[in-house]
Amino acid sequence: MGKLKARHILGIAHLGMEEISFILDTAVSMKEIMERPIKKVPPLRGKTIVNLFFEPSTRTKLSFELAAKRLSADTVSIAASTSSVVKGETLIDTARNIEAMRPDIIVIRHSMSGAPYMLSRHVGSAIINAGDGTNEHPSQALLDLMTVREHFGRIDGLKVTIIGDIAHSRVAHSDILAFTRMGASVTVCGPATMMPPEPGELGAKVCLDLKDAIRDADVVMALRIQKERLGRLSPFPSEREYADRFGISTAIEPYLKKDVIIMHPGPINRGVELSPEIADGINSVILKQVTNGVAVRMALYTLLLADLQEHG
């Protein structure tokens, strides 16, 4: 098996096209394991993976855990509420203590951008960023790429439109970087209050008109309106108006391409960013994204640990 150049998975910003393709190819063979009646293989037996989640998460944590178990690694998950962080310990100290127990990989989700970068400078284990603040969520972008490639057989040349709170979405950030790196073009749409200051810096075009934004799109991805991130100044007047102006529903369906695929990183606010008909419709690949999430995370573990073994 080949190997990854990166020692950590901190963000799509640090992965080249070849590395991404290699991860996706590996994920395809991992997915095959998941289709077997016995979904467990032994390659990571004796390896330890620590999931360090400083933010509440259900599906991402479950996905990382299942991926590890299917490869026979031992996993421990730590939630922030039960960790020493509440006792005032710094992140670096927490990580060094975990490090002292010799895990092979630390998966971290944290509310602050850059936290996994800081850890990677202070501990020796491989780090996987499972979402840091409003920065990146690389494994989500990889599973999105996998889902699109699986459906269209390619990514290059496709038109991808992402709708929602682009400025505060780590999924959007990683997806824009990932899809453009693989040759797709990315348009972002949503309330102007939710656009990043310099979208061009990431490689995305802004289109403030929803109909124009989705007209030619091969992929339409709606982002979750993260109510918990909205803060004191709500960037739009009401959910009703958001659903009306920026939600994907049967009202807007005539403007979608017939063979478009609808994606969503979940969990969905049904009736806000996606109407139930669209979320459950024939163009939706939302549950395939979830399945592929496990495969991509299995691939990341395998490749990172193969690399570690090679380097001793």
C-alpha torsion sign, points 184, 189, 194, 198: positive
Distance CA 238, CA 259 (A): 31
Residue 116 C-beta: closest distance to other proteins, Å: 10
Is the CB of 44 or the CB of 141 nearer to other proteins?
Answer: 141
Distance CA 110, CA 75 (A): 18
State which of residues 118, 207, 290, 308 lies at the interface with other proteins (CB under 8 A): 118
Residue 28 within binding range of other proteins, rule CB under 8 A:
no
Residue 86 CB neighbour total at 10 angstroms:
9
Residue 165 within binding range of other proteins, rule CB under 8 A:
no
Stretch of residues binding other proteins (CB under 8 A), selected from 134-142, 182-190, 205-213, 248-256 = 134-142
272: nearest Cα among 190, 171, 215, 175: 190
C-alpha torsion sign, points 152, 135, 98, 60: negative
State which of residues 112, 230, 290, 306 lies at the interface with other proteins (CB under 8 A): 112
Specify the amino acid at residue 272: V
* First vs last C-alpha separation in the chain: 16
Residue 92 within binding range of other proteins, rule CB under 8 A:
yes
Per the CB < 8 A criterion, the answer to whether 218 and 261 are in contact is yes
Is the CB of 201 or the CB of 259 nearer to other proteins?
Answer: 201
State which of residues 138, 190, 191, 199 lies at the interface with other proteins (CB under 8 A): 199
Residue 55 within binding range of other proteins, rule CB under 8 A:
no
Is the CB of 55 or the CB of 218 nearer to other proteins?
Answer: 55
Residue 198 within binding range of other proteins, rule CB under 8 A:
yes
* Close Cβ partners of 215 (under 8 Å, ≥ 6 residues apart): 255, 257
Distance CA 307, CA 297 (A): 15
Is the CB of 196 or the CB of 247 nearer to other proteins?
Answer: 196
Residue 281 within binding range of other proteins, rule CB under 8 A:
no
State which of residues 27, 52, 142, 202 lies at the interface with other proteins (CB under 8 A): 202
* Close Cβ partners of 207 (under 8 Å, ≥ 6 residues apart): 161, 187, 188, 189, 213
State which of residues 66, 91, 207, 290 lies at the interface with other proteins (CB under 8 A): 91
195: nearest Cα among 232, 163, 226: 163
Residue 264 within binding range of other proteins, rule CB under 8 A:
no
Site string for other proteins, 222-261 (x = CB under 8 A): ---------x------------------------------
What burial class does residue 284 get, using C-beta atoms within 10 Å of its C-beta: 0-12 exposed, 13-18 middle, 19+ buried?
Answer: middle
Query: Which positions lie near other proteins, rule CB under 8 A?
Result: 13, 90-92, 110, 112-115, 117-118, 132-136, 170, 173, 196-199, 201-202, 231
